[in-house]
Copies of this chain bind each other. A is one copy, B any other.
């Protein structure tokens, strides 16, 4: 039997991160590769209470088919939460999704045709390249500096269906776009009528000062905004959301219906219960404090151990350091040597839609302990010294 596959499957490839993660499961490997939230901050007790309450008070509602838009009370909570960040929105604009990865899939379905242009940052989030890539766009990479996309670069993206931006503590670069740059970006995007897709999984994970208001607060009618409960509560429940201008709502909803009918009602109700107790008010500061210790440990370790010629900025939030190696280095070729010395990372080349700088690597500080981070970075430094 010879299956005739859809053309888009040529653009589906095994995730390089996934392959690396398999390596890191070997005992004794310190993983600075994955973006797995630390289990130490999982709200296990709160989830236990919430799940018991949901199955005691509303078992039938939790187990029955539910609405494609999502649980009304959860949509209200999300709207209220986002209003605190300066966004103006109605709960009717909130579409609950099965993780924010699904938000990317739905946005791609509604906005991208084969051959249409999609603009991305450099580097950019690999999961977005995978999700949008399914819809066969042509990529346009907007030039970036340490403060994010250069507004002047948006003119070249005129006519693209969207510019995908991750403004807060970007995966992989860790950068957080400044308030001034955000305003300039929105001005430039308005000028060329370039829709923005703003992804914000890490905004609540700040360790120094909170990030500036979202792009969606500056341009509500031109921005699709995505958020997630994966990083602030737990990723295994797969709960995210998309906030779209009212024009897009019906098509996003129909895309959602055909994708999976609705996000599990039980999961939505559990998370709503946890949120209602005000749990985040104490939980978020605890998560921030834990990750800040790990971030600081990695900052110290990199400074102490990495050889000259490496460059990085200390991120003010999120999960990742982005290290630029001396020009000409291929981080992917270093990886097996690093693994031999007991440490794993993700080569940065994976994080570009059109190929990018292979002399880069992404280091996660949220899964390993401060002591492991120090040992891991030492092993990495030894690898670099031996192979540069």
Contact = CB atoms under 8 A, between A and B. Distances in A.
Interface of A: 1-9, 12-15, 18, 34, 36-37, 39, 42, 44, 47-48, 51-52, 55-56, 59-66, 68, 97-99, 101-102, 104-105, 109-114, 116, 127, 130-131, 133-135, 161, 193, 195, 221-222, 230, 234-238, 245, 247-248, 250-251, 254-255, 257-267
A101 B261 contact: yes
B44 A55 contact: yes
Contacts of A9: 109-110, 251, 254-255
B127 A258 contact: yes
Given A98-B98, A109-B6, A65 B258 contact: no
Contact of A42 (B5, B8, B64, B110): B64
A13 B251 CA distance: 8
Given A5-B110, A222-B1, A47 B59 contact: yes
A63 B270 CA distance: 12
Contact of A105 (B5, B68, B258, B267): B258
A51 B59 contact: no
A108 to B, nearest CB: 8
Contacts of A104: 258
Given A5-B248, A18-B257, A237-B264, 18 more contacts: A1-B247, A6-B112, A9-B255, A12-B255, A15-B257, A36-B65, A39-B64, A42-B60, A48-B52, A48-B55, A51-B51, A64-B234, A101-B259, A101-B260, A101-B261, A114-B114, A134-B255, A238-B261
A238 B8 CA distance: 26
Contact of A55 (B14, B51, B63, B262): B51
A1 B245 contact: yes
A349 to B, nearest CB: 19
Given A63-B234, A65-B36, A127-B258, A3 B51 contact: no
B6 A110 contact: yes
